Chain A
């Protein structure tokens, strides 16, 4: 016990003396938490649109003004030449081209149906898909309005009207959705990277030689490395939670204690992963390369940015063995929905299993190498 205490004391001294490391641990994640959520936003605005209006009628003008009034589109050019408009798309200056054919108004009144051409620039896939969907809905809306006002002579409109409501995130605010996930990502990076680097550093500068000829037991050395970063992980998470409350107004719906209980187990798994990497690397450069590879995969395949359900089957399997997937899910469930232990216990069991597995492997491998 006394040995463990002196080791912990030594570790904390070393961490708190390394001012750059301290900044990386505490300041960098928080800056990321302040900056990243604003970038991770799927709401698309300022879609540039070119209109080819060869009709030049009241109907076409009204449609264009309705589109620009929607707030999502910037009408770049309204020309009557298709070639001229297409040049905008080719130069990547326009995202979507909308062609209103000659006789749009006339035909609309006479035959009560008309066709429009929409060309989306799919270089930026998200913008193309979301943009055409927005444009489609604006046109549909206008279509409905025309029908009620003109064609049916003010009579009641037919068809089905859909009203939707977003549960758990009524304003459909992306920050509310992203911040808890990003917080998980940051805690993972701090925990996984720092623990691995710290152990490898002792190997690299040779201090482990001196430690290995003392009566310090392996488990004492390992605990001495993991406990400080477990505490730091908890601290970073708490500060992150505070920032999301102050900056983004996110107040967890569910039980904080449950969140912390899950974090406690999750950190053991992440730190174990760091320990495992450290047993396979001799230098900090090797360790950072391995960690970087895994964190990249973990971050992108965790459902943080894109839903897991839309990944191909094999990718879903990777997501399933990714600890981040579970914690991000739990964070969103507890923070946004207020889920209780009953809802997340299966997640907890999986993470607990991972923690045991990865630590067991790490300790086994640690023995073999030294």
Chain B
């Protein structure tokens, strides 16, 4: 049995005017850390809201740990933890009060499941009498995670947990998720950050309500056929224009301080010829070399194929 299962889910808003998710099918295995990767508007939040029984899909079937999201929504609500994209705890209650409140509504106590949250809660415990609204962004995330975990959920839904959080806290957050895997919790995480994708067991690349590709991050990168080059020169903006104009260049885009590009023919000669041409065009300190593709490169390539 899959921990999370979606079959041909369709969801539209505004009476069919806007399609959020189209014919979406997905299976998440038990104990897996699964990532939904995609830009804003890809339909990630809609998937979460369907799975957490907050909204109904127009058609299709979805289940969590074997419970149907429509028929058995009460069972699901007892068994899942949900951390919405927006901080949704009570800002005017303290850290400890929020945790106590959510433990009680799930008919449990903090003591009973303390081992579940210990590692995370210890970090915010010094502030337990502070109001949640007065916490920093990173600490709010930790508190929200504690509240979502306090009832020992079987499946944890995390909707963009690292959006708007600083780089250090983001890293810490993913370390916490790694720790949680040891408890055997199935996790479905969404993120717009491609660099976070590698922390997942499997990912689905999403765009405009459908899945472009779904596999482990390693496998996705491995399936990137052909060679990828990175290039830079003193005249970065002109370099991009010149490369786009060149008939041998299939695809080029900016990637950090470099430009990434693919050529129609992966041979060394083509690369050398291209390099010479660019030097003639007056590019200084030109660097052009082969590089390893990342998830983002895969995503961009898939988008261009669409």
CB of A13 within 8 A of CB of B91, answer no
Q: How far is the CA of A2 from the CA of B104 in the complex (A)?
A: 8
The stretch from B23-31, B75-83, B116-124, B228-236 touching chain A is B75-83
Q: Is residue B255 within 8 Å, beta carbon to beta carbon, of the partner chain?
A: no
Q: Is residue A14 within 8 Å, beta carbon to beta carbon, of the partner chain?
A: yes
The stretch from A30-38, A46-54, A204-212 touching chain B is A204-212
Known: A13-B97, A215-B74, A215-B78. A210 touches B104 (CB 8 A): no
CB of A6 within 8 A of CB of B88, answer no
Q: How far is the CA of A370 from the CA of B52 in the complex (A)?
A: 13
Q: How far is the CA of A207 from the CA of B82 in the complex (A)?
A: 12
Digitize B89-130: 1 where CB-to-A-CB distance is under 8 Å, 0 elsewhere: 111110001001110111100000000000000000000000
Q: Which of A1-48 contact B (CB under 8 A)?
A: 2-3, 6-7, 10, 13-14, 17-18
CB of B106 within 8 A of CB of A214, answer yes
> 20 extra interchain contacts, Cβ-Cβ under 8 A, other than A6-B101, A14-B90?
A3-B107, A6-B104, A10-B90, A13-B97, A14-B93, A206-B86, A206-B87, A206-B88, A207-B89, A209-B54, A209-B82, A209-B84, A210-B89, A210-B102, A213-B53, A213-B54, A213-B80, A214-B105, A214-B106, A370-B54
Known: A10-B101, A212-B54, A215-B106. A205 touches B80 (CB 8 A): no
Top 3 nearest A-B pairs by Cβ distance? A210-B88, A6-B104, A213-B82
Q: Shortest Cβ distance from A175 into chain B, in angstroms?
A: 39
- Residues in A with CB closer than 8 Å to B53 are 212-213
> Which residue of chain B lies nearest to A14 when distances are taken between CB atoms in the complex?
B92
Q: How far is the CA of A17 from the CA of B94 in the complex (A)?
A: 11
* Total inter-chain residue pairs, C-beta < 8 Å: 62
- Residues in B with CB closer than 8 Å to A2 are 104, 107
CB of A213 within 8 A of CB of B52, answer yes
Q: Which of A58-115 contact B (CB under 8 A)?
A: none
Main DSSP-derived SS at the A contact region? helix
Q: Is residue A216 within 8 Å, beta carbon to beta carbon, of the partner chain?
A: yes
CB of B105 within 8 A of CB of A3, answer yes
CB of A216 within 8 A of CB of B84, answer no
Q: Which of A208-227 contact B (CB under 8 A)?
A: 209-210, 212-216
Selected A-B contacts with CB under 8 Å, 26 pairs: A6-B100, A6-B104, A6-B105, A10-B93, A10-B101, A14-B92, A205-B88, A206-B84, A206-B87, A207-B88, A210-B82, A210-B84, A210-B88, A210-B89, A210-B147, A212-B54, A213-B53, A213-B77, A213-B80, A213-B82, A214-B77, A214-B105, A215-B74, A215-B105, A215-B107, A216-B105
Q: Shortest Cβ distance from B44 into chain A, in angstroms?
A: 15
CB of B93 within 8 A of CB of A214, answer no
CB-contact partner of B91 in A205, A212, A214, under 8 A? A205
Q: How far is the CA of A209 from the CA of B91 in the complex (A)?
A: 14
- Residues in B with CB closer than 8 Å to A213 are 52-54, 77, 80, 82
Q: How far is the CA of A14 from the CA of B89 in the complex (A)?
A: 13
Digitize B49-92: 1 where CB-to-A-CB distance is under 8 Å, 0 elsewhere: 00011100000000000000000001001101010101111111
Q: How far is the CA of A232 from the CA of B99 in the complex (A)?
A: 27
Chain A interface residue bracket vs B:
20 to 34
Q: How far is the CA of A215 from the CA of B89 in the complex (A)?
A: 16
- Residues in B with CB closer than 8 Å to A370 are 54
Q: Shortest Cβ distance from B78 into chain A, in angstroms?
A: 5
Q: Shortest Cβ distance from B65 into chain A, in angstroms?
A: 15
Q: How far is the CA of A206 from the CA of B49 in the complex (A)?
A: 13
> Which residue of chain A lies nearest to B82 when distances are taken between CB atoms in the complex?
A213
- Residues in A with CB closer than 8 Å to B52 are 213
> Which residue of chain B lies nearest to A5 when distances are taken between CB atoms in the complex?
B104
Known: A210-B82, A215-B107. A18 touches B101 (CB 8 A): no
Q: How far is the CA of A2 from the CA of B102 in the complex (A)?
A: 12
> Which residue of chain B lies nearest to A17 when distances are taken between CB atoms in the complex?
B92
- Residues in A with CB closer than 8 Å to B97 are 10, 13
> Which residue of chain B lies nearest to A9 when distances are taken between CB atoms in the complex?
B101
CB-contact partner of A209 in B88, B92, B100, B102, under 8 A? B88
- Residues in A with CB closer than 8 Å to B105 are 3, 6-7, 214-216
Q: Shortest Cβ distance from B103 into chain A, in angstroms?
A: 9
- Residues in A with CB closer than 8 Å to B87 are 206
Q: Shortest Cβ distance from B198 into chain A, in angstroms?
A: 29
Q: How far is the CA of A197 from the CA of B87 in the complex (A)?
A: 20
> Which residue of chain A lies nearest to B148 when distances are taken between CB atoms in the complex?
A210
Q: Shortest Cβ distance from B20 into chain A, in angstroms?
A: 17
CB of A13 within 8 A of CB of B84, answer no
- Residues in A with CB closer than 8 Å to B100 are 6
- Residues in A with CB closer than 8 Å to B104 are 2-3, 6
Q: Which of B19-49 contact A (CB under 8 A)?
A: none
- Residues in B with CB closer than 8 Å to A205 are 88, 91
- Residues in A with CB closer than 8 Å to B77 are 213-215
- Residues in A with CB closer than 8 Å to B80 are 213
Q: Shortest Cβ distance from B234 into chain A, in angstroms?
A: 48
Q: How far is the CA of A61 from the CA of B177 in the complex (A)?
A: 99
- Residues in A with CB closer than 8 Å to B78 are 215
- Residues in A with CB closer than 8 Å to B74 are 215
Q: How far is the CA of A117 from the CA of B84 in the complex (A)?
A: 78
Q: How far is the CA of A3 from the CA of B147 in the complex (A)?
A: 16
- Residues in B with CB closer than 8 Å to A14 are 90, 92-93
Q: Shortest Cβ distance from A282 into chain B, in angstroms?
A: 15
Q: Shortest Cβ distance from A87 into chain B, in angstroms?
A: 63
> Which residue of chain A lies nearest to B101 when distances are taken between CB atoms in the complex?
A10
Q: How far is the CA of A214 from the CA of B52 in the complex (A)?
A: 10
Q: How far is the CA of A10 from the CA of B107 in the complex (A)?
A: 16
- Residues in A with CB closer than 8 Å to B88 are 205-207, 209-210
Digitize A180-212: 1 where CB-to-B-CB distance is under 8 Å, 0 elsewhere: 000000000000000000000000011101101
CB of B90 within 8 A of CB of A214, answer no
Q: How far is the CA of A235 from the CA of B88 in the complex (A)?
A: 31
